[in-house]
Structure 1
Amino acid sequence: MRTESGSAGMLVVAALIALVWANSPWSESYVDLWHTELAIRFGDGGLTMDLHHWINDGLMVVFFFVIGLEVRKEFAIGELTDRSRVVVPLVAGITGMLVPAAIFLALNPSGEQAAGWGAVIGTDTAFLLGVMALVGPAVSTQLRIFLLTLTVIDDIVAVSVIGIVYSDGLSLGALGVAALCLVVLVVLDRFAVWQAAPYVLVVLVLWVATLESGVHASIAGMVSGLLVPALDPRRVDVEEAARTFRAFRQSPMPGVQRTARRSLTRAISVNERLQEALHTPTSHVVVPLFALANAGVDLRDGVLGDALASRLMWGIVLGLVVGKALGIFVGAFASVRLGWGRLPQGVGLGHTLAGGALSGIGFTVSLLIISLAFESTRLQDQARVGVLLAAVLASLAGWAAFRFSARFLGQTDAALPRTLSQPVDPARDHVVGPVDAELTLVEYLDYECPFCARVSGVGDELRAHFGDRLRYVTRHLPLPVHPHSELAALASEAASLQGRFWEMHAVLFAHQDELELEDLVGYAAEIGLDVERFMRDLDDDDVHRHVAHDVASAEESGVRGTPTFFIGDTRHIGPHDARSLIVALEQQGVGRPIG
């Protein structure tokens, strides 16, 4: 149930149920159900909408809120923190919307049908990823990242189109209240409010104000999600959580339990906590319920024939199936050839064609826009048939493109490399243990990374277990998010020139919150280095080249974070505590060392 393919499966089942129900002898009950009115009253005021609008204008706001949360996290601490990685998917995302819209408008240049152009610009991310899990490569992590980055742009534009183009009868007073809510969210972010309740209350008020303003509420969900802060766990909060948990273990009383729970909650950003709480109900309840309410097209009495003969339906089908694949592929190809950026490591142009084809599954966003773009039931039915047909054809086109890429282009997967690109070289690498040991453990580390500090003694534990059967090797990967990590890496290499690498290594981890230049000079004196030589060596070209070489080898080996371990020449996937690494090393068995 937690897999993307499972979520996509539920979406398909809900759509099929809607189609069967709408074409059954009980089709009137399907229509009547969604026209059932529901009201929430507070004294003389309240909200009254039919069930269909509660789903489209209410529950779907939660869906777009989760998308906004995911986008904020990606820009704050995820893949999009490196802006250079955004260029290719940004260009591909834009062309992947312009080309479908152009194809649709070429077939429907005027009249009421032209209003449906927005139905071909969006992609159903959940459906896309679910189908890719079924028909794509066995390992497609990098392609998934590329497509998620692309759909970030897609979602922002699609929701903006919904909120601006398909809104009418604007109320300035309600818009003022909505704007004030956005200001409050910014203030909560600025003052680092970590409790979820204030954000949720403001978002609820924002949703009601947006409903009353005449702007479609989906934009409220997306924008409010973008304003909920996402942060990496701070070391001080993690340590405080650990301290209070130990206190509860020693004294399991209600007051201590509340304190421990509060500190554990605070250690994780409110953005990630809300995602964790909402992702499953959104994927497995909200989106399937939306499909059930919107995919039920009564194809009887000539509706299907009417749709197949309409330019509106074919504009949607060709826009989604041909336009998305062509637009995304051309955008990615052009931006790479022009040198604007590069595809993620492990992703080929064949993958972009296949991913672009799957992006033609517009489903959720397309159906929502159709319900807003057309008042005529006839046009809505024609457009919905086009969206459903496009979802089937896009899935088949993606499957065919993946098979073509694997067979003729050799692009069998879309994952990061898992093999150590640069073999261990005892002449330059820092090695503990016999250089010809039968087992090898390589660690890429960052001296300012708290997780590296937590496992900094793992090499000693493993050496105690394996003895001379194991050699432990360290390499540098100072991460951009840690401002002092590169200087610390240079300090360790400068100490190495005086034969004190491991002494400096231990001191840096012991004081990873104090890595300013004056601190490093003090550590150099503490471990008995010639301080003047140490200062000169910090600027030595060979020292800088050593760190740069390690960083380049990490990139080539598919390393994206620290700590990352290689068992032999294969990247270790999974926990990196001593016990897990011992099991992985024992599974490797007796082998020849690398290098």
Structure 2
Amino acid sequence: MYRVWNFITNYSLLLIFGALIALIWANTDPASYHAFVEFPLIEDFFFGALHDDGQGHLVRTLTLHYLVNDLLMAFFFAVAAKEVWEAVILENGSLRGSKALTPLFATAGGMAGPILVYLGLAAFLGSDVYDAVSRGWAIPTATDIAFSYLVGRVVFGAGHPAVRFLLLLAIADDAAGLIILAVFYPSAALVPAWLLVALAASVTVYVLFNWLPRRMDAGKQHRPNSTWVRNKLSFWPYLVAGAISLYAFQESGLHPALGLLPIVPAIPHADRAFGIFAEAEQYLTDLLNHIEHLLKHPVEVILFFFGLMNAGVEFSAIGAPTWLVLAGLLVGKPVGIFLFGWFAARPMKLGLPAGMRVLDLIVVGFVAAIGFTVSLFVASVAFESGPVQDAAKMGALFSFAAALLSLVAGVVLRVEKQKD
């Protein structure tokens, strides 16, 4: 139980506190809350939201909201991308080989189901509703990996194979979510040439501070050049390249919060991965894991401010988008994960991990329906500020109901908890 509580304090409490403060603030003094969120930090800056200065010139103003959502959240997505990158690239990565096929099929179902439910119900409600909310189709596809992991451990027990299955599904869901954000939700008109700048930054730091030192160390047991780069330069070259990539993403029209993604593969990584939140990873000494460890506490603080900046929705905002997002998550996710997972495990004979039943897929589906963090983020980029965005955010917040449904499903379907 101590390890579960330790996990809550490390990954969840600050985000929850930020969201709760935002909800209370927005429902008691909405004017001051919105003034705080949109508080201008620096006028006419390199980074910020574009607007007309009143003299016919477009300038960028760095607001508190832009700082958190568009710049600082890049570190959160970089940590998620690190897990995806290791799962794909390392020889024993969790998304490589046949062992990942059933979770990948389940992930596809966990995205297709919510989209079909969301858009299908929107169409049923009429063309006016559909036209107003259709852009939010990706909101219920998200799975909050941290909260889902926590609830999964409570429902199944830390040693149950369904928890590992859930993590594989969540990592794949994160990867798909990053692609969706990049492709379907650009922040402005696309200027692809700027992406070459981000690519050049990534290639440069890879060649100079990763490939070249290893090349020079060929045949040298103590790896003097790689060690010097690791000890003396540390993360600084990658931080500079990351700043360049962030700016390039902003200017390209893609969401700046994705700007660190090209840099992650350029950082020297370990030859093995123990999995997300694995305690053993603290003993790895490669630069990529070192950077992740350095980011751990800053990202927790960033998530507090993310909750504070984005969860401030008035309860009067509840509307059709709220119920569409909830239906997509609470109905579409479990049904999609169960159907696609069953099809992969049985008709396709790809199987499930030893000790995991087909019925456990239903419970996994409810656990994965906790969208929260990523759903809030997608809602903030899918819609302009206003009633539709607020209503969609409320659906993301209400997705915590999936935790209760997961506990009920675990009891009804007689999940046998397994300890470490």
User: So what's the TM-score if we normalise by structure 2?
Assistant: 0.80
Select the residue among 406, 412, 417 that pairs with 1:413.
417
User: CA distance change for structure 1 residues 170 and 70 in 2, over 3 Å: closer, same or farther?
Assistant: same
- Which residue matches 1:274? 291
Give the Å deviation of 1:81. 6.6
Looking at structure 2, the residues matched to 400 and 81 of structure 1 have their Cα atoms a distance apart, in angstroms, of 30
User: CA distance change for structure 1 residues 321 and 229 in 2, over 3 Å: closer, same or farther?
Assistant: farther
1:294 matched to 2:310? The reply is yes
User: CA distance change for structure 1 residues 132 and 178 in 2, over 3 Å: closer, same or farther?
Assistant: same
Select the residue among 333, 353, 357 that pairs with 1:324.
333
**Amino acid across the alignment from 2:305:** L
**Paired residues for 1:30-429 under 5 Å:** 30-39=33-42, 48-75=61-88, 76=90, 78-80=92-94, 82-109=96-123, 110-133=130-153, 135-140=154-159, 142-167=161-186, 168-187=188-207, 188-191=209-212, 192=214, 194=230, 195-232=234-271, 268-282=285-299, 284-300=300-316, 303-304=317-318, 307=319, 310=320, 312-375=321-384, 377-392=386-401, 394-406=402-414, 411-414=415-418
Give the Å deviation of 1:78. 4.9
User: CA distance change for structure 1 residues 415 and 81 in 2, over 3 Å: closer, same or farther?
Assistant: farther
- Which residue matches 2:19? 15
Looking at structure 2, the residues matched to 349 and 289 of structure 1 have their Cα atoms a distance apart, in angstroms, of 39
- Which residue matches 1:28? 31
Looking at structure 2, the residues matched to 78 and 275 of structure 1 have their Cα atoms a distance apart, in angstroms, of 20
Give the Å deviation of 1:15. 1.6
Give the Å deviation of 1:77. 5.6
Give the Å deviation of 1:138. 3.2
Give the Å deviation of 1:316. 0.8
Looking at structure 2, the residues matched to 177 and 81 of structure 1 have their Cα atoms a distance apart, in angstroms, of 29
Confirm or deny: 8 A CA contact 2:155 2:410 kept in the other structure: yes
Confirm or deny: 8 A CA contact 2:329 2:370 kept in the other structure: yes
Looking at structure 2, the residues matched to 119 and 154 of structure 1 have their Cα atoms a distance apart, in angstroms, of 12
Confirm or deny: 8 A CA contact 2:139 2:378 kept in the other structure: yes
Give the Å deviation of 1:330. 1.5
**Amino acid across the alignment from 1:66:** V
User: CA distance change for structure 1 residues 127 and 223 in 2, over 3 Å: closer, same or farther?
Assistant: farther
Give the Å deviation of 1:92. 0.5
- Which residue matches 1:496? none
Confirm or deny: 8 A CA contact 1:21 1:27 kept in the other structure: yes
Give the Å deviation of 1:141. 5.3
Structure with bigger RCO (C-alpha 8 Å, 6+ apart): 2
Confirm or deny: 8 A CA contact 1:321 1:357 kept in the other structure: yes
User: CA distance change for structure 1 residues 317 and 92 in 2, over 3 Å: closer, same or farther?
Assistant: same
Rg larger in structure: 1
**Amino acid across the alignment from 1:342:** G
User: So what's the TM-score if we normalise by structure 1?
Assistant: 0.58
How many residues are treated as equivalent by the alignment?
A: 368
Give the Å deviation of 1:45. 5.5
Give the Å deviation of 1:173. 4.0
User: CA distance change for structure 1 residues 78 and 372 in 2, over 3 Å: closer, same or farther?
Assistant: same
Give the Å deviation of 1:313. 2.2
Secondary structure of 1:80 counterpart: coil
User: CA distance change for structure 1 residues 189 and 382 in 2, over 3 Å: closer, same or farther?
Assistant: same
Identity fraction in percent: 29
Looking at structure 2, the residues matched to 155 and 37 of structure 1 have their Cα atoms a distance apart, in angstroms, of 31
Structure 1 segments unaligned to the other structure (5+ residues): 234-264, 417-595
Confirm or deny: 8 A CA contact 1:77 1:230 kept in the other structure: no
Give the Å deviation of 1:322. 0.9
